[in-house]
Structure 1
């Protein structure tokens, strides 16, 4: 196993830059009962430098998402009787996905057959770069032989419980005390980048592993992972645009490492202002400008 310590930061912006140079992100998520999760991801993507951000949400989540932020686009898609994406919405999501540099799927998505169909259709497309988090993972594990189906470039961002379920889905042994080994093995077995969240989050690209040293216990709050999802998508989109000739999974790993580091750094800034007990996910987003500026971006 190779422990990676260096972090690849985003390049300085040029004076004649324009929004399309900085990547287009698509956030796929939300449902009637969880409209806020994709909002957090979308806001985090904007604050992490994405040139354009679009949310695709089921119809019942449209008004909450659209009224929460004027700087991203929101596209409503078909919903079933439970307020989640319908079977018919899959084609609507794919149409938006074709325009994106990076797709983030999962925040507030819910679980069900239609959502497993959606995930399976997304991961089949070789040209797609996808961050899969939260209920994206919880649907992925129900797709038989999903690593064999996947053709897209994928970053998985599980918390320990989701990591355990991912391991079980591919018949991989799992030990909660062996975080590095778990992340590296899942990365190798599935052909994905793995970000195992928690204290000292681990990012793995095969046997290359980064162990993060930023962050604090106040970040253990609902929505914090949705923030990381949006950040990861935005940073990957920028790296993908600026380094298009490089290996996409290497770009994905570099993006995952930087996102984890800056997520923790923003959390540390938020802790100085809010303390740990009162910190919420939106405090992390509000701290992102200072985290980026402090690191020369």
Structure 2
């Protein structure tokens, strides 16, 4: 496939690229560990974590600033929630406790970034978690984890684990070190090649080998607070089920977009909330 000829992600393409359907108990569908959530933004981790479960992950673990952990554990009773050391300002500290690195070593997927708010501390945390991750652990990097990666682009070099980056256009600018051009697909391909990771950017999904897909169902309403956290969680959930990085990104991008389309008759093209996407995820997947 050439870079100028992206494949359009359609239900037919997805049916021919079916998601794994592991049998057995919840462990067969993998553990997702979501790490982020400053004192002021634990909801980002909640959105990503619930999205992962809705996408089919079997076990959910959430790690947030200590001051938010109890409230989050009540809000998401399906998850194991641990508190992380935080600064006086409420940011997650960069030196994670042994409990977190132990969980990272056993997780099938680690999603890092939702709700973090200090790029320097996010970089320290990212480096420690990458060091703790198992050799086959998949990684999803979002939000401030992407800003941290842009400052240390060698962090992913020579890593064999599947990695998916889920930037918005602002984060893409940091990853590139320049303003993205009008050709978003080409931008996604450039980022994928630079960081040796699959990238999903504004409806375009790129593999480091140059392959490119385009999702055409997205609506303006997806540009709402928390929507990106939902998208990263969906991708993490598909990775937990055993999907490859490009497959999880294509499925995740399409399911996120179509879940938004399903809300349009109820709320209009804009005005629905990111949390309202969550209940649409399993129905959207089931109808493929």
The two structures have a TM-score, normalised by structure 2, of 0.89
Number of residues of Structure 1 aligned to a counterpart in Structure 2: 276
CA distance in 2, matches of 1:80, 1:92: 18
Identify the range of structure 1 (30-39 vs 147-156) with the bigger mean alpha-carbon deviation: 147-156
Alignment of 1:207-222 (within 5 A): 207-222=210-225
Alignment of 1:110-259 (within 5 A): 110-124=117-131, 125=133, 126-143=135-152, 145-148=154-157, 152-168=161-177, 174-197=179-202, 201-206=203-208, 207-240=210-243, 251-259=244-252
CA distance in 2, matches of 1:133, 1:35: 15
| 2:92 pairs with 1:85 | yes
Change (3 A) 1:292 1:144: closer
Q: Which runs of 5+ in 1 are unaligned?
A: 241-250
| 2:283 pairs with 1:290 | yes
1:26 equivalent in structure 2? 33
Alignment of 1:254-293 (within 5 A): 254-293=247-286
Report how far residue 288 of structure 1 moved. Answer: 1.4
CA distance in 2, matches of 1:212, 1:90: 39
Q: Decide whether the 8 Å contact of 2:31 with 2:107 is kept in 1.
A: yes
The two structures have a TM-score, normalised by structure 1, of 0.86
Q: Which runs of 5+ in 2 are unaligned?
A: none
CA distance in 2, matches of 1:181, 1:101: 30
Provide the secondary structure at the position in 1 that maps to 2:151. Answer: coil
